[in-house]
Every structure is written in C-alpha cells, then in structure tokens.
Chain A
Amino acid sequence: MAKQFGVSDQALEGLKDPERHPFPADQRAALRLADAMTEGSAAVPDELYQELRQHFSEPQIVEIATVIGVFNYFNRFNNAFQTDITLMDPDVLVQRMAATIQANPSTDEMCARVAEMLRQGRRYTRVDIFCGTADGGAAKREGAASEAGGTLRVPIRAGGRSVGVIEGEGDRPEPFGDEDRSFVERLATLLAAALGGSAACAGAVPPATRREKKGWCERRDSNPHGLPHRILSPARLPVPPLSQRGPSTRWDVATGSSTLSIPHIIYI
C-alpha cells in the first residue's frame, strides 16, 4: 500500500537496508530514527537528534516518532499473538472480480485487473494469468504444478478444454490450502466464461508452432504487435489514479460518522 502514496519499488527494496540505498537526507534521518527507537530507544544518540533537527521541525519529529511507536505497538501485538494475515473475504472478492470482468471488454485489462485483485486480496506475492490452449503452454504449465512448491496453479477450462492457467505464489509460512484452491477455482470459472465465450483463445489463435513455443495465446484483435499474451506482473500493472478508485474521505471515529478507505492494509 505504501506504493499508493508514492513510495517507489526501489525505495521499498531499499528499506531492507536503508544505509545502502541513496535515500534523500531527510528520509535517511527519519529511517535512522526508526532503527534507533526500535532497536534501542534508550540509546538514541545526540548526533542523530541533531541530524533530524537539520531536516525537521519539532512537530514533524513528534509525528515521525509516533509512527515509529504505533508500528512497534502493532507489530509486537501481532507477533506475540500470532495474528493471522488478513485476507479479503472470498465472497466479496469474487463479487468484485465478476463486476470487473463484466466492465472490461479488453481481455488484457480484464485479466490484469483480476490478477491484481487476487494478489492484493489474498496476499500473494505474484499472480499471473496465462491465456493458452489445451495442447499448448497452458497444459504444460499445468502439468508442472506438482513440481513447484509454494505455487498454486489452477487451469481455466471452457468447453472441455483448457484455455488458460492462473498461477499464484505466496511467501506465507503455511502452504496454500483448500480455501485458496477453492477460491481460485471459482475465479477460474468466472474467467472461463469470459475467455471461452470470446475469441480470446479458442478462435484467434496464432500458428501452432508459435503457439506451442510461446505457451500462451496471442490475440490479434487486442495485441497488434504480436507479443505473447502474458499478463500480469503486478509491478507493471496500470494502476488507476486515486481519483478513479472511489472516495477516500476521513473517518471520524470519535463521532462515528462519515466513511474512510483504509490504505494501510499491509500492517493491519
């Protein structure tokens, strides 16, 4: 979710070891405070405080310090009591995916959005949807399922044949369970209706040799450049601007009024 607020992939990667990443000086100082307060709050050096004061006012330092405090609070609570990662309710997610499928006539966009919904909603690290044919790459990828640990692979079947594959990967300690498989199978059924009922894979297929080599289908109607029809690396997805994602208004808990979308899904 941090990406929604303008944090780049590079910066997120840099947070693994901030001293080795070229963060701007003010960000570096704030991150040093995060480390110091988290790992030894009684020994935050004067030099660090002076560094902070070069970039931030006292109110700003207070605000940064409360962020560090709140996250330590929440992290420790969740660690101590082994709080499960929150996943989106399957029924709600299926409803939203169905609406997305209906609303997007382009197969590329439909699959991209659905895959991103799946990745975020079920906390997968990667989701790919391959649109292929039964004798092509889809079936081969499907056949490799048993060899891949930590990967969930579900075929999309329409008219008695495979028209694609949904692949998901997760880094949760527990393996994919029946709930995950059942849910992704529901999604596959939705996609089968959309893909199998169109020319997506059954009709506008490329020459067989190319199809088998590529392992996924190529749609000439939506893919004029002849590129493989492989969709969905989350980092490359066209994320709609915030203004198109619905209201994001404030939620006043004290009064219990109004609405608020809660962006900090990673942490809560």
Chain B
Amino acid sequence: MGRISRLGPDQVGADVKALFELFLKERGNIPNMFRSVAHRPEILTTMLAHFRAVMGPGTVSVALKEMVGVRVSRLNSCHY
C-alpha cells in the first residue's frame, strides 16, 4: 500500500471528480499517483495539463518521447 492515501471520486471536489470519472470511462481506472496528488487539487489539474502538453503531439515524435520516458523510468528503478 502506498504511503500517501488515495482519494476516490467521492472524496474530491467537482473539478477533480470530473477528471476522475473521465479516467474511469476511458481507462477503467484512476491512476494511483493522481489519486494521491488529488490531496492538492490545484496541483493535480495543472500537473495533468502539463503532462499532456509535454507528452502529446509536438515537435518530436510521441514514440521518441515514450522511449525517453521508459529510459528515465528504468534509470530511476521505477516500476510504477
């Protein structure tokens, strides 16, 4: 069990709840990291916006960015 508690859709405000419900609809789950970060709603919403800006279509291929992400996660021994 992670050290920081995870909030569910019924424990967050309307804005975050809408984001959570979208995750459930699209993926069938809510990433645990985001459920923990939801303790600070402003940080969660801007984190997601930034993540999408960084990882979405841009000036280099998404495939290259995915590879870079996998490499960094390996170096950090992050299995999450």
**Contact A251 to B75, CB < 8 A, known contacts A30-B64, A63-B60, A85-B32:** no
**Once the chains bind, are A67 and B55 in contact (CB under 8 Å)?**
yes
Q: Which residues on A sit within 8 Å (CB–CB) of B45?
A: 253
**Once the chains bind, are B50 and A70 in contact (CB under 8 Å)?**
yes
Q: Which residues on A sit within 8 Å (CB–CB) of B49?
A: 252-254
**Once the chains bind, are A83 and B26 in contact (CB under 8 Å)?**
no
**Once the chains bind, are A86 and B75 in contact (CB under 8 Å)?**
no
**Once the chains bind, are A70 and B54 in contact (CB under 8 Å)?**
yes
Q: How many residues of A contact B (CB 8 A)?
A: 67
Q: Which residues on A sit within 8 Å (CB–CB) of B18?
A: 256
**Once the chains bind, are A88 and B65 in contact (CB under 8 Å)?**
no
A42 → chain B, closest Cβ, in Å?
A: 16
Q: Looking across the interface, which residue of chain B has its beta carbon closest to that of A37?
A: B72
In angstroms, Cα B71 to Cα A26, docked, is 15
List residues 251-266 of chain A with CB under 8 A from any CB of chain B: 251-254, 256, 259-262, 264-266
Interface 9-mer from A89-97, A141-149, A202-210: A89-97
Name the interface size band of chain B. Answer: 35 or more
Judged by a CB distance under 8 angstroms, whether B10 is at the interface is no
Judged by a CB distance under 8 angstroms, whether A199 is at the interface is no
* Chain A-chain B contacts (Cβ-Cβ < 8 Å), number: 186
**Once the chains bind, are A251 and B31 in contact (CB under 8 Å)?**
no
List residues 1-47 of chain B with CB under 8 A from any CB of chain A: 1-4, 15, 18-19, 22-34, 36-37, 45-46
**Once the chains bind, are A84 and B27 in contact (CB under 8 Å)?**
no
**Contact A27 to B58, CB < 8 A, known contacts A81-B4, A250-B52:** no
Interface 9-mer from A8-16, A106-114, A152-160, A178-186: A8-16
**Once the chains bind, are A27 and B76 in contact (CB under 8 Å)?**
no
Judged by a CB distance under 8 angstroms, whether A99 is at the interface is no
In angstroms, Cα B21 to Cα A198, docked, is 38
User: Contact check: which of A6, A66, A262, A268 meets B63 at CB < 8 Å?
Assistant: A6
**Once the chains bind, are A15 and B33 in contact (CB under 8 Å)?**
no
Top 7 A-B residue pairs of the complex, sorted by shortest distance between their CB atoms? A2-B66, A75-B78, A75-B76, A253-B49, A71-B72, A92-B28, A78-B80
